[in-house]
Structure 1
C-alpha cells in the first residue's frame, strides 16, 4: 500500500541550505515538497500558485519578511497550516518568539534527516512537535488533549506572574526587578516550575504555558 505523503514547503533565505533540504526531503517516501521560498513575501506569492502544504518549515531570520511575521500571517490567513521553526541555535528568545507567533514546534538545522522527518510527521498529525526540552509528562498531556490547569498543579499568583513574564524577552534579573523580588527567589520559582511541569528549560515552561492556556498573550 502506497504511503500518503505529507505536503510541505520550505522557507529559508540561505539558498544552498534550502535547496539541499529540498533534495534531501524529496528522496523521502513520506514527504512531498510542494515549493520552496526565500522569505515570507515569496512564500505568500507561491501559496497562490500551489496546493496548500500541511507543514511549512520556517527559517527565523530572513530579509523582507522574517519567520515571526510570516508565521503570524499564516495563522491569520491559513490557520490549518502547521509551522515548524528551523533554528541554528538552541536559544530561548527566538524559539519563544516563534511559538508566540504561532509555530507548533522547532528543530535545529543541524538535526539528522530522520529526526526532521519525524518532526514533520508529528506536527502534521498533532499540530505540536515537542523535542527533548519537554519530557514525556507534558507530551502525554498534549497527545491526550488534557491541559493541566493551574489549580490542579497548585500555581501561586506569583508563579503565574513569573510564568507570564517568562514568555517575554526579559531576563531573569529584569523579571526579578519587575516583581520586586530577589534573583534568588526568582531562581526558586523557576526551579519549582521546572519540577511542576517536568521540563528542563525556559522554552519548556513557555510551551507548557501556551499549550495549557495558563497565560494570555
Structure 2
C-alpha cells in the first residue's frame, strides 16, 4: 500500500492563508509541506534549498511574479513538478490562463481540506486533477500537447467568431452585442457547441477549440 506523503509547496501572497493551509494539510498525515512562498520570485529563491515538490499549490494573483508566470517558469525548468492552481472564484478566464500556462487543474480556495488533499494526491499521481469544469480528457490532451480526436468540423463563421470571443473576458451579453446578435441566439450557439465538443462549460469549450487549433489567442 502506498504510504509515502506527497511533498508540496504553497505559493500565495496571503501569509495567514498560507500558514493556515499548511497546518491543515500537515494534519492530514498524507501531505508534507516543504516550504511556502509569497510569490513566484520568492518560490524560485527558496526552491534550491529543498527537495523538488511533487505538487505546488499556486495562487493566481500575486505581486512581483504571478501564478501564470510562475507556472510557465516551473514547466520550463522543472517540468516534473505538478501545479494545482488555487482560485478565489470559479471564473473561466483565469482557469484557462493557468491551464495554458501548464497547471494540471484547479481548486477553489474555499474547498474543504479533505477535498484539497484528494486533489493533491490525484495530481501527484496522474499529473492532472478532474473537476466539474475541466474533464480528464481535455486535461490529458493539454498535458500531452495532443489535438482532440473527432473534432467537430464545418463550424460556420459566426460559431468561429463566438469561440474567439469566448477566449476573452467578455460576458455572453457583451459577446452578443459585439456580434449584433440577440442573447438568445448566443445561448443557442453556446449550447450547440457544448454538444459538438462534448463539454459542459465555457472553459471546456475554449480549451477544445484551442487544442483543435480552431482559434488562436
TM-score when normalising by structure 2? 0.82
RMSD: 2.8
After TM superposition, the structure 1 = structure 2 runs for residues 1-217 of structure 1, keeping only pairs within 5 Å, are: 3-134=3-134, 138-139=135-136, 148-149=148-149, 151-154=150-153, 156=155, 158=157, 159-160=159-160, 162-172=162-172, 175=175, 183-209=183-209
Note if contact 1:126-1:143 (Cα within 8 Å) is conserved in structure 2. Answer: no
Aligned pairs, number: 213
Shift of 1:83: 1.0
Q: How far apart are the structure 2 equivalents of 1:108 and 1:215?
A: 28
Structure 1 100/77 Cα, relative in aligned 2: closer, same or farther at 3 Å? same
Q: Which runs of 5+ in 2 are unaligned?
A: none
Note if contact 1:3-1:29 (Cα within 8 Å) is conserved in structure 2. Answer: no
* CA deviation map 1:87-125 (0-9, x unaligned): 111122222222222211110011011110111122222
* CA deviation map 1:111-159 (0-9, x unaligned): 011110111122222222121224xxx436767989633x444462544
TM-score when normalising by structure 1? 0.82
